[in-house]
Chain A
């Protein structure tokens, strides 16, 4: 199985919407149960976004990685990932995140990256999240399936990234990542 990232092609927009609205993602991803129209989805897809890439698994679109809430003065940004449910707990999300974060560090003068992770998703991304600092724990701040879920805010500095094995993970797995500075 090869995992790579590339720019969004206009013909993939409906497919990305379908992935975001899959039952396992719909309540956890940014729409939180809403089903925006295809036209609204196209607008929302780029709202507040610094960069994003389609996750490609064996030449098929499998999800999306996004950098958003960029604050250029403070040199921080947030990132998030969603994959089709058939790739949940396969490691695809972690590899894609590693590739994307590596790309962000190379491409932008960022000091820190942040991720907002529901407690229910922590285990899925454990190999990534245990390299981060826990900088927030918002008790019950999300409602998923009528249950309050804690949200963890994880921060990673450029130094933390470089001290981890994640750059090696990204390098090993990167095949077709477009636009990566050498």
Chain B
């Protein structure tokens, strides 16, 4: 997937997920598995319950798209999703998720993460946002030097590939990185 920079310097766009994106969302969730920690922890993705599972505990969910130029015209290409969930208005915190296709560039991940963090902090007047990721993959907040690792749930997530030897379960840490609104706004 090539992400092409538009003349406005904006490379990505996001729009609320609607019925038209459900097929892409479902195929995407099945494909990325552990790459979407919120859904992975809820068990196997099932077609008939998928819309409910997708929005369970979710405040906002956006599809992220990049652009490719075809015959000189920008054509939208879906790259994945960003969302806000587990919103605690009282404590002014929420979790955000950034789930892009494996081929997405680090710059695209950074931009998508920045878009959703900015949206979360400004729309809900949050004090901090959290992002969970499984330790075998880089955090969407990896390129934010203001992100602080505040949680590392050791051996939290079970994983076993179908071709692994029987009886050799693998457990991954579930890591939570935090961005504080104060730090975010200073930057």
- Chain A residues engaging chain B, CB cutoff 8 angstroms: 32-33, 71-76, 111-112, 114, 133, 135-143, 148, 153, 155
Contact = CB atoms under 8 A, between A and B. Distances in A.
SS class of chain A's interface: helix, strand, loop or mixed?
strand
B90 A153 contact: no
B152 interface: yes
B24 interface: no
Given A74-B156, A141-B128, A136 B151 contact: yes
Contacts of B58: none
Contacts, number: 55
B158 A73 contact: yes
User: Which 9 residue pairs spanning A and B have beta carbons closest together?
Assistant: A136-B151, A74-B158, A32-B90, A138-B150, A135-B153, A143-B91, A142-B91, A74-B157, A73-B158
SS class of chain B's interface: helix, strand, loop or mixed?
strand
A83 to B, nearest CB: 22
Given A74-B157, A133-B154, 12 more contacts: A135-B151, A135-B152, A135-B153, A135-B154, A136-B151, A137-B150, A138-B178, A139-B150, A140-B127, A141-B91, A143-B90, A155-B153
Contacts of B148: 139
Contacts of B88: 32
B85 to A, nearest CB: 14
